[in-house]
Amino acid sequence: MNAYVLFFLVTASIGGVTWVFVYPILSGERNAERRMASVAKAEPMASRRPAQAARAAQKSRREQVEGTLKEIEERSKKAKRAPLAVRIAQAGLSWSKQRFMIIAGALGFVGFCAVFLLSRNLMAALAAGFAGGFGLPLWGLSFLKKRREAKFLDNFPDAVDVIVRGIKAGLPLVDSLKMIANDADEPIRSEFRAIVETQTIGMPIGEACLKLFERMPVPEANFFGIVISIQQRAGGNLSEVLGNLSRVLRDRKKMKAKIQAMSMEAKASGAIIGALPIAVMILVWITSPQYMELLWTEPLGRLMLAGSAVWMSCGVFVMKKMINFDF
């Protein structure tokens, strides 16, 4: 009898211990209690919400910046394939496309007539007409465009500094742009006036600044448009960002001047080497004209002159590529 009682007590004790310690784990009651405890505590949840909000804001800002950079990249690709009307505007000319084509046609006709009347050679006259109608106008357009870009880059860092000082003084960005549009030198004045006028008709200031790169296709103008556009979309300290941009522009300007100074010796050597055969030919023609006349009176001499011109042109182009640093 005592053995049965003892067995019953031991079994009851084991069952009780199992019920107390094992059953909550198997039934999930302990997990429920932990969840209720975590819900009851307000401090951890309060600390999680600002972190989640910060991560969401950071993700949204990153997405906005990525979208802006994609749009800017697409606009840069379009600016490289600028049509003729845009290139005329980039050169600072107020001509229409029709006027430019009329002037180019007139130059080609004058070149054709002048060479044909002087040499009576139809092929040479056609070559002169083609050069006067297509080569010379496009070369002049490119020359005016590069000269205008050089003037813009000389004064652009100062214009950015004016914007930074205006913003630090409490002026809005548009008022700072108007100051430059009224007081700066050309072509800074006309370009910033275009930004102000575009913003006045309803376009956001960020997009108006991005259009500066379409009229002035230089990296510095693209940097300025990117900074303003991203700041307008994502926020931030505009004066500090523009101050950093101004320092970057001045450093680029110094680096460009150093590169030009270091490459000037190679450019001078290339110019001397390219001009030496022509100078020797002119001196020999002055001292012994009968000796040099065979080059343009005999067919073999003309062929030799043409071959020499081709090889000299190849050498000049190769030297230009070697000493022309793209910065």
The residue among 23, 39, 66 that closes a domain is 66
316 lies in which domain range? 257-327
Please indicate, yes or no, whether residues 226 and 156 belong to a single structural domain of this protein.
yes
Q: What is the pLDDT of residue 181?
A: 84
Asked whether the predicted pLDDT for residue 155 surpasses 70, the reply is: yes
When pLDDT is cut at 50, 70 and 90, the band that residue 42 belongs to is very low
Q: What is the pLDDT of residue 48?
A: 45
Please indicate, yes or no, whether residues 61 and 203 belong to a single structural domain of this protein.
no
Extract the tokens encoding 250: 């001045």
Mean pLDDT for the stretch of residues 122-138: 83
Mean pLDDT for the stretch of residues 267-281: 83
Per residue in 54-84, pLDDT (tens digit) is 555 555 656 655 665 566 566 655 555 677 8
Please indicate, yes or no, whether residues 304 and 224 belong to a single structural domain of this protein.
no
Mean pLDDT for the stretch of residues 288-317: 83
Q: What is the 3-state secondary structure (H, E, C) of 51-74?
A: HHHHHHHHHHHHHHHHHHHHHHHH
Contacts of 237 (CB under 8 A, 6+ apart): none
Q: What angle do CA 90, 95, 100 make, to 5 degrees?
A: 100
pTM for the structure as a whole? 0.62
Phi, psi of 15 (to 5 degrees): -65, -40
Please report whether residue 246 resides in a domain: no
The residue among 66, 93, 108 that closes a domain is 66
Q: What is the pLDDT of residue 1?
A: 52
If one compares 3 and 147, the residue with the highest pLDDT of the two is: 147
Asked whether the predicted pLDDT for residue 123 surpasses 60, the reply is: yes
Please report whether residue 90 resides in a domain: yes
Mean pLDDT for the stretch of residues 252-276: 82
Torsion over CA: 152, 153, 156, 158 (sign): negative
Torsion over CA: 124, 126, 131, 133 (sign): positive
Please indicate, yes or no, whether residues 80 and 57 belong to a single structural domain of this protein.
no
Q: What is the DSSP letter of 190?
A: H
Please indicate, yes or no, whether residues 58 and 160 belong to a single structural domain of this protein.
no
**In percent, how much of the chain has pLDDT > 90?**
0
Please report whether residue 128 resides in a domain: yes
Helices 136-168 and 188-200: crossing angle, nearest 10°? 70
Q: What is the DSSP letter of 135?
A: I
Q: What is the pLDDT of residue 14?
A: 64
When pLDDT is cut at 50, 70 and 90, the band that residue 13 belongs to is low
If one compares 150 and 41, the residue with the highest pLDDT of the two is: 150
Asked whether the predicted pLDDT for residue 46 surpasses 80, the reply is: no
Mean pLDDT for the stretch of residues 190-209: 84
**Number of C-alpha atoms within 13 angstroms, CB side, residue 209?**
21
Please indicate, yes or no, whether residues 58 and 74 belong to a single structural domain of this protein.
no
User: 83-89 long-range contacts, Cβ below 8 Å, gap at least 24?
Assistant: 86/214, 87/141, 87/145, 88/141, 89/215
Q: What is the pLDDT of residue 293?
A: 80
Please report whether residue 44 resides in a domain: yes
Torsion over CA: 168, 171, 172, 174 (sign): negative
Please report whether residue 263 resides in a domain: yes
Question: Among 24-28, 297-301, 306-310, where is mean pLDDT lowest?
Answer: 24-28
Please indicate, yes or no, whether residues 114 and 197 belong to a single structural domain of this protein.
yes
Q: What is the pLDDT of residue 60?
A: 61
Q: Are 238 and 167 in contact (CB under 8 A)?
A: yes
Please indicate, yes or no, whether residues 62 and 75 belong to a single structural domain of this protein.
no
Please indicate, yes or no, whether residues 261 and 213 belong to a single structural domain of this protein.
no
Asked whether the predicted pLDDT for residue 36 surpasses 70, the reply is: no
Q: What is the pLDDT of residue 41?
A: 46
Extract the tokens encoding 38: 């975590």
Q: What angle do CA 12, 18, 24 make, to 5 degrees?
A: 140
d(CA 25, CA 27): 6
Please indicate, yes or no, whether residues 80 and 229 belong to a single structural domain of this protein.
yes
- Stretch (H or E) spanning 282: helix 238-287
d(CA 323, CA 319): 6
Residue at token pair 């103008």: 221
If one compares 326 and 198, the residue with the highest pLDDT of the two is: 198
Asked whether the predicted pLDDT for residue 25 surpasses 60, the reply is: no
The residue among 45, 66, 87 that closes a domain is 66
Structural domain count, the chain: 3
Please indicate, yes or no, whether residues 129 and 278 belong to a single structural domain of this protein.
no
Q: What is the pLDDT of residue 186?
A: 84
Please indicate, yes or no, whether residues 213 and 125 belong to a single structural domain of this protein.
yes
Mean pLDDT for the stretch of residues 279-302: 83
Please report whether residue 313 resides in a domain: yes
CB atoms within 10 A of CB 303: 11
Please report whether residue 244 resides in a domain: no
Please report whether residue 245 resides in a domain: no
The overall average pLDDT reported for the chain is 76
